[in-house]
Amino acid sequence: MFFYLLLVVIVLLAFICLHLRFSRWGRLMAKIPGNKSYPIIGDSIDIIKLDAVSSFVYFRNLCKDYGRISKMQMIGSAAVNLAHHEDIEIILSSTRFNEKQTPYNFMKPWLGDGLLISNGEKWKQRRKLLTPAFHFNILKKFCHTFNEHTERFLELLDKETSQEKTNVKPLLTRATLDIMCETSMGTSMHETSGSTTKKYFDALYDIGDVLLERFFKVWLHSDFIYNYSSLAKRERKLLKDLHNFTNTVIDERREYRQKHNITSSTGDEMFSGKVKKAMLDMLLENEGTKIDSEGIREEVDTFMFEGHDTTSMAMSFMLMRIANEPEIQDKIYEELQGVFGDSREPPTVEELSELKYLECCIKESLRIYPSVPFIARYITEDAELGGYTVPAGTIVQIDIFDCHRNPEIWPEPEKFIPERFLPENCVGRHSYAYIPFSAGARNCIGQKFAMLEMKTMMSCLLRRFKLEPVTTHEDIVFYADLVLRTKNPIYVKFRPRTKTMYK
């Protein structure tokens, strides 16, 4: 009996191997370059050995070893990695390739069908519902909030000027979360329990590790197997803290609206300056018609995560790099002096629009350190990419990190050269060679919000403090996560500017 059972298993495995290799899908995938793989399991043996640091190197080596396109195969799935702007354009510019599956479906218990991971009609409906909340006329009304929280942030930095080094990430993370809560959610963090907030921060960092570990342990891709694992148990505990925080934010805004008898406002009122509209207000006003209470929680979870974590990491990298580029820092300061003089007054939107060189520096920092270094799509029809036919049913991983380092577009790609983004130097550059906020229909809905926030905080900070280097670009060890992170803290030394700045 055992012999016959073994024979059946061998025949079944042989059939699967032959099908995977010689079916149309298998023949097309076999032509695409990639690391050595084995029947059925593909690259799984190599992948399960990876950790957060080695996995980041692994993906970068795929680009280094195979160029613009490479493949990675695991049990039950395969991915094609793209790092060339022309191939990336084919995927991101077409609504035919908008679908997201693995690894985004691993985030579903956390973010549900929020804007980041939803597909089809639900995504279209949510995008249409949320887009007005990020209209530039709405964002201008939040400048006061940006300035208010920037001042609190700078007061914390004042206390750091006697230190030889400051870990910038936790300070920036708290500041950007404060801003996100008050602008998009209409809730002050000062009214939220400190223990609830701390649990949220801790869970936010830990959930990335959980999702990454699940991705590399390919047997955990099955929901059935995963739900009985110790990792799933850990995830459920983290989700409790994450959802508790966002539910608190939603409840506080509901209570505020009831207490102040706030009713829905028309689009004309939104743009006239009469109403400072929070994104959460728009969701609550459509509750029961265009979105249910669970949908509101999904979108709040999505925007609380995406709206502060990406921005805080972007500014952490920028501060580190500017500290190591004294000539560039001097140029920024000269521009700030030209616009503000010795004033410490908060910037207006009009003044921020004059800071062209600072904007170039932000863009160059996002080129070298894109907050989201990899994104993915699931293609449901064949696509011609990099000279190969990539078959339907394949995950396409878009390597933004290495796309931004293509020496054909970006000579000396590791060097910090803000002048790359002067208007005259952008002429003729491929529009998909620089995509820190993704591109196409599923681009980042909050990119104008993020740029306005970063320009506000950086312009105020660099007027008041001179940055001196501690951590260098060469010290950075990246590790794979939901956003671009470093293994070790990012340190910068803050020194007060001359007293003429304090008139």
Please report the DSSP string for 92-110 in residue order. Answer: HT-GGG----TTGGGGHHH
User: How confident is the model at residue 479, as a pLDDT?
Assistant: 87
Q: Edge-to-edge strands of the sheet including 394-399? A: 69-74, 77-82, 394-399, 374-379
Question: Confidence class of residue 288 from pLDDT cuts 50, 70 and 90?
Answer: confident
pLDDT at 257: 84
pLDDT band at 39 (very low <50, low <70, confident <90, very high): low
Q: What is the mean pLDDT of residues 243-249?
A: 90
How much of the chain exceeds pLDDT 70, in percent? 89
Q: Give per-residue pLDDT as tens, 355-380.
A: 999 999 999 999 999 999 999 999 99
119-155 residue pLDDT tens: 999 999 999 988 888 877 878 888 888 999 999 999 9
pLDDT above 80 (res 270): no
- Judge whether residue 8 has pLDDT over 70: no
Looking at residue 86, its pLDDT comes to 96
| pLDDT value of residue 275 | 47
The pLDDT confidence band at residue 97, using thresholds 50, 70 and 90, is: very high
- Please name the residue that has the structure tokens 């206390």: 159
| Mean pLDDT to the nearest integer, 182-194 | 71
- Three-state helix/strand/coil letters over 174-226: HHHHHHHHHHCCCCCHHHCCHHHHHHHHHHHHHHHHHHHHHHHCHHHHCHHHH
- The count of C-alpha atoms lying within 13 angstroms of the C-alpha of 41, restricted to the half-sphere facing its C-beta, is 11
Beta-bridge partner residues of 467: 494
Residue 55 · residue 19 · CB < 8 Å: no
SS3 at position 380: coil
Q: Which of the four pLDDT bands, split at 50, 70 and 90, describes residue 413?
A: very high
The mean pLDDT value for 454-483 works out to 94
**391 secondary structure, DSSP code:** P
Q: What is the DSSP letter of 377?
A: E
More confident residue, 389 or 259: 389
Q: What pLDDT does 190 receive? A: 59
How many DSSP H helices and E strands does the chain contain? Answer: 22, 11
Q: What pLDDT is attached to residue 371?
A: 95
pLDDT of residue 269: 43
Q: What is the pTM of this model?
A: 0.91
